[in-house]
Structure 1
């Protein structure tokens, strides 16, 4: 795309308006998610919560794997993991495949916190979507999956 061309120039007016509306709504969603992270635990940010959640989903992984997954610099991941460790939410163990490396996993406290949060989040989604019919829910889920797969 040439520097003078904007994303809106690539779409007709109605589609550009729809994309603008999607951008506004996703921004509002992200702001709400950032706000909720600090309500979960005063020391958590959205980034640290996301890392903790990913570690839980994977059953643990190395810091280099986190950096690659989140497309972050290793030093950034290291600081975020150190913050989680200071809060007692993760622990490190020797990597059985490479004793020079470490596997980072949620601690018991971190896993318990995640279970509580994911349960609360699930209840919140159920509440927000309670009036949606099955077809709308399925379409919304498919659209989100399609959007996330295109990244």
Structure 2
């Protein structure tokens, strides 16, 4: 049986290095974007629109921090606010065309990078790795609310 402590140490080291590289690569996509602001744009794209409070909750950040980041993204022309049709007091965040384009270009760069990294991997290894990453990520998600079931 492999040494669990050694494996956990290696996982921690590799994930820390991965996070550092991700921060560096985010800055190369756009010099004024941090990994956090880039991730916010990514989430807005995924959801189509969302509120600042949704970003704060998702990224476990203070609302004032999110407000500053959203303001920076607006000044860069990557994000815009619009009235929430369901609650006129609220505002929804949406990507601008420039934000959509930036994310499309970044997605293509990431896709090419991943394709190159995994070129020598078998389909089975790639599928297994994807499943492990998904399983690891699920540990951070809150459990489903059984009262909200369809």
User: After TM superposition, is the score higher than 0.5?
Assistant: yes
1:125 to 114, 122, 125: 114
Unaligned segments of structure 2, at least 5 residues: 141-150
Looking at CA atoms only, which structure, 1 or 2, has the larger radius of gyration? 1
Task: Confirm whether residue 41 of structure 1 aligns to residue 22 of structure 2.
Answer: no
2:88 to 81, 95, 99: 99
1:22 to 11, 19, 28: 11
Deviation at 1:42, TM superposition (A): 0.8
2:3 is paired with a residue whose SS is helix
Match of 2:143? none
Provide the C-alpha distance between the structure 2 equivalents of 1:130 and 1:120, rounded to a whole number of angstroms: 15
Superposed CA deviations along residues 8-30 of structure 1, whole A, max 9, x for unmatched, are xxxx9810110000000001110
Task: Confirm whether residue 141 of structure 1 aligns to residue 130 of structure 2.
Answer: yes
Superposed CA deviations along residues 104-124 of structure 1, whole A, max 9, x for unmatched, are 011100001000100110011
1:32 is paired with a residue whose SS is helix
Structural RMSD (CA): 1.2
Provide the C-alpha distance between the structure 2 equivalents of 1:143 and 1:43, rounded to a whole number of angstroms: 33
Superposed CA deviations along residues 51-100 of structure 1, whole A, max 9, x for unmatched, are 00000100010111111111111111101101111111000100000111
Task: Give the TM-score normalised by the residue count of structure 2.
Answer: 0.91
Task: Give the TM-score normalised by the residue count of structure 1.
Answer: 0.90
